Amino acid sequence: MALAPDRTVRGLLFDRDDTLVIDVPYNADPHRVVPVPGAHRAVERARAVGLLLGVVTNQSVIAKGMATREEVDATNARVDELVGPFDVWCVCPHDADDGCDCRKPRPGMVFEAAERLGVAPEELVLVGDIGADVGAALAAGAQGILVPTPRTRPEEVEAAPTVVGSLAEAVELVLEHAAAVRS
C-alpha cells in the first residue's frame, strides 16, 4: 500500500480511540487513558520531521449526556500529555443521528484541522482504525490510512485504499512518502 506519489504531505491527523489510545467506550476520564503501544514514539517521529499534527475524534459521549465537554477536553489533555503534543484537536460532540457536518465519516473535522493548521486538506493524511476515519479523509480530499483492530469490520479493510498493521507502520509510510516527495 502506498500514498499518492504526486502529493506533498505537510500534516498528519489521528483518530483518538483505538488509534492513539486503547479504546475505553465513552471514556471521559483522564485516569483511564492508556496509549496504544508505540504511540508516543510514532507521534514523536512525525513531529521530529516537521509534520503538523492533529487529532480528529468523534465524542458522542457529550451528546448522550454521559460526559461534559470539559471532561472530554480533560481526557484529550491527558492524551496530549502522554502521546502528543498535538498542534490541533478537533472534537465532534454530536451523536450519529444529529446530522452534523463534523462527525466522521463526514469531512468537517478534517476541513477544520486543515484550516487551523494552515494547510490544504490535500496535504493531510488521516490515520484511524475504522472506515469512518478513512471516509472522512477521502471526503475532504485528504489521504487515509487504516490501522485495523479486532473491531474493524472486514468490509472497512477491503474498502480502504491504504491498510497497515500498526500506528508505527502508518507513520513510517508517511515519513517514507515525505522523504520521497522531497528528493
Condensed to tens digits (0 to 9), the pLDDT of residues 132-183 reads 999 999 999 999 999 999 999 999 999 999 999 999 999 999 999 887 776 6
* pTM listed for this prediction: 0.95
Segments of 38-110 assigned E as strands: 52-58, 88-92
Beta bridge partners of 128: 146
Neighbours of 113 (CB within 10 A): 27
Residue positions annotated with a catalytic role: 15, 17
Exposure string over 139-174, b if 16+ CB within 10 A, otherwise e: bbbbbbbbbbeeebeeebeeebebbbeebbbbbebb
